[in-house]
Amino acid sequence: MKVSRLVAALASGLLFGIGLALSGMMDPQKVLGFLDLAGAWDPSLAFVLAGAVGVSALGYAIKGRLDRPAFAPRFAVPENRRPDGRLLSGAALFGIGWGLAGFCPGPALAGLVLGLPEVALFVAAMLTGMLLYRLLAERPARTVGAGL
């Protein structure tokens, strides 16, 4: 593992964490305010998504002109573009959990540094859910494709 690759990953994580903090999306009440169409709707998350997707689209446009990333031999971007039952059922379950607490993985992990027991509890349950998936997916009788 090259040091440049680790530094790039660290810098990317740092940008992500500062972005989350600045965006207000570490606050579950703000996220739920966006998802609550029948309440006092808070459009903030739409602006976060617009800014993030806009910049990321530029990055993927640049990627199309490159043979390989700067510090790795090849791009590890999923080739599969067809939605399937696994994808949709997983997304449906994730959405229910997201709506229950207002946490998705990034903000919950970044929120750990605030030292709130509720955040730690959510993250512990989330990691347990991921491990449960892995236990089920690793059973030899089933074949499940690699995630993102």
Partner 1 sequence: MTAFLAPLAGGVLIGASAVLLLLANGRIAGISGIVGGLLAPTARDWAWRVAFLAGLLAGPVLFHLLSGHWPQVRIGASWPMLVTAGLLVGFGTRLGSGCTSGHGVCGLGRLSPRSFAAVATFMATAIVTVFLVRHGVGR
* Residue 35 or 143 having the CB closest to partner 1: 35
Select from 108, 110, 137 the least CA-distant residue to 124.
108
Residues 25-84 that bind partner 1 (CB under 8 A): 25-30, 32, 35-39, 43-45, 47-60, 62-63, 66, 68-72, 74-78, 80-83
- Cα-based distances in Å from 117 to 65, 94, 108, 113: 46, 22, 12, 11
Distance CA 91, CA 69 (A): 29
Written as six digits, the tokens of 111 are 């929120």
How far is the first Cα of the chain from the last one, in angstroms, to the nearest whole number?
A: 20
CB 140 to partner 1: min, Å = 14
147 neighbors 76 (Cβ within 8 angstroms): no
CB 83 to partner 1: min, Å = 4
Lay out the site mask for partner 1 across 92-121 (x = CB under 8 A, - = otherwise): xxxxxxxxxxxxxxx-xxxxxxx-x-xx-x
* Residue 141 or 148 having the CB closest to partner 1: 148
Distance CA 52, CA 50 (A): 6
CB 120 to partner 1: min, Å = 10
* Residue 80 or 140 having the CB closest to partner 1: 80
Lay out the site mask for partner 1 across 117-146 (x = CB under 8 A, - = otherwise): -xx-xxxxxxxxxxxxxx--x-------x-
CB 11 to partner 1: min, Å = 6
36 neighbors 24 (Cβ within 8 angstroms): no
